[in-house]
Chain A
Amino acid sequence: MKFGVVQFPGSCDERDAILACETVDGAEAVLLWHRDASLHGVDAIIIPGGFSFGDYLRVGAIAQFSPVMAAVINFANGGGPVVGICNGFQVLCETGLLPGALLPNENRRFVCRQLDVEVTSVDTPFTRGMAEGDVLSIPSKHTTGRYYAPPPLLEQLEADGQVVFRYAHGNNPNGSLNDIAGVCNTSRNVVGLMPHPEHAVDALTGSDDALPLFASLVRGVAAGV
C-alpha cells in the first residue's frame, strides 16, 4: 500500500501527512511534486494543507492547474481514493472533484484550535472503519474554511449523505453551512475536510483520534474497494 502526498509550492503539512500515513502497518508514503504528472503507482492520494501558490487569486485556485492535478483527476475519476485536507479540500473544490466552495471565516479570524468533529458518513474509504456518530478530537487551523454550497446543491448533498464530517454542537469555528466540516463526491471516493487528521495521530500532540481514518484507507485499498 503506497500513499502519494502531493506537494505544491506553499504546501506545509505534507510531512505530517506522510508520517500519519506511515503510522499504519504496511503503508508507505511518497511525495508527489506538483510539476510531475506521474503518480508513481500510488494506491491513494492525500492533498495536504498549506497555502499553495500563496493563496493568490482564491484559495486553491492556481494549484488546480499543476500537472499533477490532471493525473489526480484521472485517478479520482477511475475510482481511486483521494483525500484533501484544509488547503487540499479547497483545491479539490476548485477542480470540481468536490462540490461547493470554502469562503473566509465568518468571524474574520484565523482559527487554530482542537475541535470535536463528528463522523456523519462511514460510506467512504476514509471513514469505513468508523461508526456514524463517532466524535473525533482534531485540530483546525485556517482562515478560509466556511463551507458553502448554494441551497439546491446543499439540499442534494444532505439528501445523498455526502456530508462526511460535521463540527459537533458548539464547535463550528467558521460559520460553515449546516456545520459541515467535510464532504465527499457522488462516487464517494473523494473526500475533503477542513480539520487536520494528520495532526491527530499521536497522543503526545493532543489526540490520536484520527488514526482509524488512515487505517481505513489502507484496509480499503487492500480489500480492493
Chain B
Amino acid sequence: MSIKARVLIRPKQGILDPQGIAVEQALPALGFEGVSNVRIGRLIELDVQDVSQLDAMCKKLLANPLIEDYEVIGPDDVGSPGDVAAKGPGT
C-alpha cells in the first residue's frame, strides 16, 4: 500500500534567495503592491510504502540540510474515501 506524501523544501532563513527577490520585484510592476519576503522553494510529491523513510530521504537526497529546511507534510492514504472528499469535486 502506497502512501502519498509531500515534502516542502525551502531555502533556510537568512540565505539570500535571488529567485524570491526577482519575483518580489516583478509583482509591483504588475500592480500588486505590499508584497514582501517572497521565498521560493519546491514541493516534492511522492508515493512511498514506508513513511518512516521520508526523513532519511530528505537528509540524503531531497534536501541539502546545510542550505535548506524541509518539512514532510500530511501523508494521505492513496485512494481512501477521505482523500477523495478532501480534494473536492473536479479533481
Q: Are A105 and B62 in contact (CB under 8 A)?
A: no
Q: Chain B's interface: helix, strand, loop or mixed, by majority? A: helix
A100 interface residue per 8 A CB criterion: yes
Question: For chain B, which range describes its interface: under 10, 10 to 19, 20 to 34, or 35 or more residues?
Answer: 10 to 19
The CA of A101 and the CA of B15, in the complex, are separated in Å by: 12
B28 at the interface (CB under 8 A from A): no
Contact with A along B17-46 (1 / 0, CB 8 A): 011011000000000000000000000000
For residue B21, which residues in chain A have a CB less than 8 angstroms away from its CB? 108
A57 proximity list for chain B (CB < 8 A) = 61-62
The yes or no answer to A14 lying at the interface (CB within 8 A) is no
- Interface size classification for chain A: 10 to 19
Given A107-B18, A108-B22, A148-B15, answer yes or no on A101-B66 (Cβ-Cβ < 8 Å).
yes
State in angstroms the CA–CA spacing of A123 and B15 once bound together: 31
Contact A65 B66 (CB under 8 A): no
A residues with CB within 8 A of B = 57-58, 61-62, 65, 94, 100-101, 103-108, 146, 148-150, 175
9 example contacts (A-B, Cβ-Cβ < 8 A) are as follows: A57-B61, A57-B62, A61-B64, A62-B61, A101-B66, A101-B67, A103-B15, A105-B18, A148-B66
The 6 closest A-B pairs by CB, nearest first: A108-B18, A101-B67, A104-B18, A101-B66, A108-B22, A58-B64
